[in-house]
């Protein structure tokens, strides 16, 4: 939307890619709300500090992105106070990696619940608001492994493939109401999530990146900011791979 002041919600904005997205989207006067899950508030406080320094009205809250009651209450309260919701970025995500034959049902279900159900729950709540206002942009965080698969990530890769399919269906359902829905599929981005990957495996992955380096959270955040901007007004239902050419 071409309006001056935007109301933005980023899930999982306390650190990593989510924090960079908050900072890339937040212009002076905008409201940027985000959630996080860790009871330790220090990372969320740092995001709020950085946003405030940019002149953004920042709000962080702790709740599980996959809990419909908490998501609906948060969005209702946010829209009640600020009158609208212009941007939703479904960024919150987790990994619980292990080989397929060792994966427990709990590991499978938790990753699907946070990554895919969480994206559905937030999209549904935001769509109701955006459809009424006849404008809005939703960006979902998928992953390169949702397209190409990855050893040890049956749960995660399936959740991200689901996010891509959900993106396309939501884009088709919401287009006539002026709401665009797109996804970014990052490759290997240096955050806490990729710190958990054994060094040898990480080196092998980085060696296969045509642009010759791992990505930084800002590399993804800039593409998300583009997708939420008026410059992307004719884009919907797209998955943009942001992986230095890892997948092409
Ligand atoms: P990260 O550094 O681990 O940060 C994850 C964020 O999600 C944190 O803010 C975390 O909050 C939040 N979160 C986790 N579970 C949550 C829940 N149940 N409810 C609410 N918030 C929750 O991860 P990242 O690397 O920045 O990844 C961000 C997104 O990009 C994810 O969807 C991930 O799958 C995707 N992605 C990342 C890469 C990569 O290479 N890093 C590649 C492809 C896709 P707390 O701090 O409170 O736990």
DSSP states along 144-182: THHHH--TTBHHHHHHHHHHHHHHHHHHHHHGGGTEEEE
Ligand 1, closest atom to CA 43?
46
Enumerate the active-site residues: 156
Nearest to 11 by CA among 106, 102, 122, 94: 122
Taking the CA atoms of residue 96, residue 88, residue 235 and residue 227 in that order, the dihedral angle to the nearest 10 degrees is -80
pLDDT given for residue 2 in this prediction: 41
Sign of CA dihedral 110, 114, 119, 121: positive
CA of residue 36 to ligand 1 center, whole Å? 9
C-alpha 93 to ligand 1 mean position (Å):
4
What pLDDT, on a 0 to 100 scale, did the predictor assign at position 198?
87
Round to whole Å and give the CA distance between 208 and 214: 10
Q: Return the pLDDT at 31.
A: 98
Nearest CA to ligand 1 atom 10: 12
What's domain 7-242's superfamily in CATH? NAD(P)-binding Rossmann-like Domain (3.40.50.720)
Question: What is the distance in angstroms between the CA of the first residue and the CA of the last residue of the chain?
Answer: 30
Written as tens digits, the pLDDT of the chain (248 aa) is 445 799 999 999 999 999 999 999 999 999 999 999 999 999 999 999 999 999 999 999 999 999 999 999 999 999 999 999 999 999 999 999 999 999 999 999 999 999 999 999 999 999 999 999 999 999 999 999 999 999 999 999 999 999 999 999 999 999 999 999 999 999 999 999 999 888 998 999 999 999 999 999 999 999 999 999 999 999 999 999 999 999 99
pTM listed for this prediction:
0.98
Q: What is the C-alpha separation between 22 and 31, in angstroms, rounded? A: 10
Q: Residue 176 C-alpha to ligand 1 middle, in angstroms?
A: 31
How far apart (Å, rounded) are the C-alpha atoms in residues 115 and 239? Answer: 16
Q: What is the pLDDT of residue 26?
A: 98
Edge-to-edge order in the sheet of strand 179-186 = 57-62, 31-36, 7-10, 87-90, 136-141, 179-186, 239-242
Ligand 1 atom 32: residue of nearest CA: 93
Q: Which protein residue has the closest C-alpha to ligand 1 atom 23?
A: 193
Give the number of other Cβ atoms within 10 Å of residue 38's Cβ. Answer: 11
Q: How far apart are CA 131 and CA 84, in angstroms?
A: 11
pLDDT at 4: 75
Provide the pLDDT for residue 1. 43
């Amino acid at each position: 939307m071409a309006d001056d002041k935007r109301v933005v919600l980023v899930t999982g904005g306390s650190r990593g890619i989510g924090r960079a997205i908050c900072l890339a989207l937040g212009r002076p006067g905008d409201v940027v709300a985000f959630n996080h899950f860790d009871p330790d508030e220090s990372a969320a406080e740092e995001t709020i500090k950085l946003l405030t320094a940019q002149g953004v009205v920042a709000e962080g809250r702790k709740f599980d992105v996959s809990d419909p009651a908490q998501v609906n209450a948060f969005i209702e309260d946010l829209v009640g106070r600020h009158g609208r919701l212009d941007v939703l970025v479904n960024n919150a995500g987790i990994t619980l990696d292990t080989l397929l034959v060792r994966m427990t049902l709990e590991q499978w279900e938790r990753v699907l619940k946070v990554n895919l159900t969480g994206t559905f729950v937030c999209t549904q709540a935001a769509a109701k608001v955006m459809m009424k206002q006849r404008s809005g942009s939703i960006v979902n965080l998928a992953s390169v492994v949702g397209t190409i698969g990855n050893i040890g990530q049956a749960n995660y890769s399936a959740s991200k493939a689901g996010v891509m399919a959900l993106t396309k269906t939501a884009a088709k359902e919401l287009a006539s109401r002026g709401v665009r829905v797109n996804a970014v599929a990052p490759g290997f981005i240096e955050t806490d999530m990729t710190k958990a990957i054994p060094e040898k495996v990480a080196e092998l992955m980085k060696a296969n990146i045509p642009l010759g380096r791992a990505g930084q959270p800002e590399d993804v955040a800039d593409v998300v900011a583009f997708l939420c901007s008026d410059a992307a007004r004719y884009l919907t239902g797209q998955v943009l791979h942001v992986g230095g050419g890892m997948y092409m």
